[in-house]
Structure 1
Amino acid sequence: MIVHSPLKVVLASRNAGKLREFSELLPEVRFVLWPANAQELPETGAFFQDNALQKAEGARAWWREHGPEAVDGVLADDSGLCVDALWGGPGVLSARFAPDLPDYRDKNRRLLAMVPEGADRSARFVCVLAYVPFHGEPLTASGAVEGSLAFDHRGNGGFGYDPIFIPDGFDQTFGELPSETKHTLSHRARACAALRERLAQGRR
């Protein structure tokens, strides 16, 4: 790959867990976190790609008017846990599931309680990334990882639904697996790898 100066990219999220993961998965990118005083970004789409594009394009529009520093583009993701026994839910509503419970340990236990006894526990994590150059057309990339639901919240690693998801081929949840293992197979890792390829093609 031809060596270029690092991209400086706004991450259209205030989620510290996502910032940490993207910084590890895309170390060649310098990320700027979405400012605390910036507007909330829309997530009204029916599909992960809709929401990722909404957030990325909304963030770019805001940054053009109010951004405190020059950047090369904006990255947004929409990701979620899709549980077969819950008809694919919470899916695109994953970030807004159980809003009355601020702690993900409680959210996870509520979600697990919704799965009928004896039901198929297969599930998958899905991630769609949208990268919008400051001047140019958006790129999207996606990734998914198949697995199953644990029976309880297990592990303190990762964030969100990681402690209740067991990827295929493993006995531990994403909350228990080392981050370096998770980063070889997670939905976000796969989406980042696909995006890196698209960006590399565009910069040759």
Structure 2
Amino acid sequence: MKILLASRNAGKLREFSELLPEVRFIPWPADAPELPETGAFFQDNALQKAEGARAWWLAHGREPVDGVLADDSGLCVDALWGGPGVLSASFAPDLSTYRDKNRRLLAMVPDGADRAARFVCVLAYAPREGEAFTVSGAVEGSLAFDHRGDGGFGYDPVFIPDGYDHTFGELPPETKHTLSHRAMACAALRARLTRLPR
């Protein structure tokens, strides 16, 4: 399959290519417009991006694709009332690196507070024709006390999945890909795609 990925995030492109090796992904072009993310929930944003990207690609795309995939994901921290949640991508816009963003996030958690957190991923898939659908995945864990590890991307270096002592930033990709929120969502997506008419 050939799928347009409605994202310019290099980390997401790498992970999707590793999690769905049977798919050839085309990244969202540099000259394409920014996609809307105005929803209150991960599902809303994922659908907005997938459907918006499909409409633009049908008018401007350089090659045919089987469908469009969009991801909306984030870190939900219990002590921060579920934040940054759907605002994960826009958290601390004054800071340019995730190392700095992660340290600010950790500083917001009160001393002695419950450090439970979860990563959530919602994928929206819009086939070339027909109705878009969503699948999701989540992984429970807790916040580290500092940014740890250089692997992964985003909030990976501050998230420790349940059952492990290392952050996603420290775990090797092959381990992360067995339990991450994106891995769970990709497994659900693969199951749905196999049932679509060809």
TM-score bucket (shorter structure): over 0.9
Alignment partner, residue 177 of structure 2: 183
Over the matched positions of the two proteins, sequence identity in percent amounts to 83
Is residue 141 of structure 1 aligned with residue 120 of structure 2? no
When the two structures are superposed, what TM-score results if normalisation uses the length of structure 1? 0.96
Unpaired segments ≥5 residues, structure 2: none
Q: Which of 145, 151, 159 in structure 2 is aligned with 1:157?
A: 151
The residue that corresponds to 1:4 in the other structure is: none
Q: Which runs of 5+ in 1 are unaligned?
A: 1-6
- Are 2:195 and 1:201 equivalent residues in the alignment? yes
Deviation at 1:137, TM superposition (A): 1.2
Q: Structure 2 matches for 1:34-113, cutoff 5 A?
A: 34-113=28-107
1:201 Cα deviation after fit: 1.8
Distance 1:107 1:39 in 2: 26
Letter in 2 for 1:24: E
For residues 54 and 140 of structure 1, the distance between their equivalents in structure 2, rounded to whole angstroms, comes to 11
CA RMSD of aligned residues (A): 0.8
Larger mean Cα displacement after TM superposition, 194-203 or 171-180: 194-203
Deviation at 1:139, TM superposition (A): 1.9
Distance 2:66 2:189 in 1: 15
Please give the per-residue CA displacement for 1:109-138, whole angstroms capped at 9, x wherever unaligned. Answer: 000000000000000000000000011111
Match of 2:121 among 127, 145, 149: 127
Distance 1:10 1:20 in 2: 14
Q: What residue number does 2:163 align with? A: 169
Tell me the alpha carbon deviations over residues 81-112 of structure 1, each in whole angstroms, 9 at most, x when there is no partner.
00000000000000000001010000000000
Q: CA deviation at 1:18?
A: 0.2
Shift in Å at residue 17 of structure 1? 0.2
d(CA) in 2 for partners of 1:150, 1:131: 33
Whole-angstrom CA distance in 2 between matches of 1:15 and 1:168: 26
Per-residue Cα deviation, 1:141-198 (whole angstroms, up to 9, x for no partner): 0000000000000000000000000000000000000000000000000000001111
Aligned to 1:118: 112
**Aligned partner of 1:122: which letter?**
A
Equivalenced residue count is: 198
Q: Which amino acid aligns with 1:15?
A: N
Could you list the runs of 4 or more consecutive aligned residues of structure 1 that deviate by over 3 angstroms after TM superposition? none
Q: SS in structure 2 opposite 1:81? A: strand
